[in-house]
Copies of this chain bind each other. A is one copy, B any other.
Amino acid sequence: MTTSMTDNWPETLSYDAFLKEIQVSKNALYRSLYLQFVDEFSVKNQRIAVEKLALIFKATFRLANTQGFQAMTLRQLAKETGLSMGGLYAYIHSKDHLADLIYAFLNFFCSESFIKLEDLDQPPEQKLKTIIFSHIYLSEFMQPWFYFAYMESKNLSRNHKKNAIEAELITEDKISDVISLGIKKAVFKNIDATMFAALIKAMMQDWYLKRWKYQRRKISVDAFAQQVMEVVNDHLSARENIA
């Protein structure tokens, strides 16, 4: 299942190594999207469709980012992509359908990636590190997608809300489980695993939610992940505090 695993992941944790590991370039992202949902598009020429889909999604993220998805009009989207209103409807059936596609593909892509990255045989300390680094790196690779999913879910259908909440809790459960295991094996201090997992999640999410801040300060994704890891390690380190 993990035969594609390179030798240096996750021992050498870096964004570059991560990109090699998931084996998807940014260019190939929209081809993957097109192939995943071919049936839903009336445009059958792959080259054209992939190109136009890239335009549409990138413009959607740009507009939703500056005014919100609900406030974005399809006229704006048409103008921003260079398509006409009619042309747009060859790719999306409705504005809601566009949101559906975003959530569905994000979900599909993340699941795929985690399968590639997961390694069940690692000890808790290493496994925790893998989860934290891969989540941050994935959120860097798909930043506009993560940001959109976070900021817009509350405004969309009940189904999208449920999906977003579930995604939130799944990551947290994975972190919480591995912390609990570490506590049981006495490699971590005895803390509230559920609670700390929530705080770790909050720190990780800051990377894609406040990207402007970190870019302005010239913090690299590698440096950020390292900082989060140090905070986590300090809180988990087995030495009990003697108040």
Contacts and interface: CB of A to CB of B under 8 A. Distances in A.
Interface centre among A67, A199, A237 (most CB of B within 10 A): A199
Question: Which residue among A67, A68, A212, A237 has the maximum number of chain B CB atoms within 10 Å of its CB?
Answer: A68
B198 A202 contact: no
A196 interface: yes
Interface stretch (A79-87, A134-142, A228-236): A228-236
A206 B199 CA distance: 8
B227 A231 contact: no
Given A70-B71, A154-B151, A217-B194, A228 B206 contact: no
A68 B66 contact: no
Given A67-B155, A234-B234, A235-B234, A228 B199 contact: yes
A205 B203 CA distance: 10
B241 A227 contact: no
B154 A65 contact: yes
Given A70-B70, A151-B151, A155-B67, A199 B227 contact: yes
21 contacts: A67-B70, A68-B68, A68-B70, A70-B70, A71-B71, A151-B154, A165-B212, A168-B213, A169-B213, A191-B230, A194-B217, A195-B224, A196-B227, A198-B206, A199-B206, A199-B228, A202-B209, A202-B210, A230-B235, A231-B231, A234-B241
Nearest to A202: B206
Nearest to A66: B154
Q: Chain A: interface secondary structure? A: helix
Interface of A: 65-68, 70-71, 151-152, 154-155, 165, 168-169, 191-192, 194-196, 198-199, 201-203, 205-206, 209-210, 212-214, 217, 219, 224, 227-228, 230-231, 234-235, 237, 241
B192 A227 contact: yes
A71 B72 CA distance: 10
Contacts of A155: 67-68, 71
A151 B209 CA distance: 11
A63 to B, nearest CB: 11
The 8 A-B residue pairs with the shortest CB-CB distance, nearest first, are: A68-B155, A202-B206, A70-B71, A234-B235, A234-B234, A231-B235, A199-B203, A70-B70
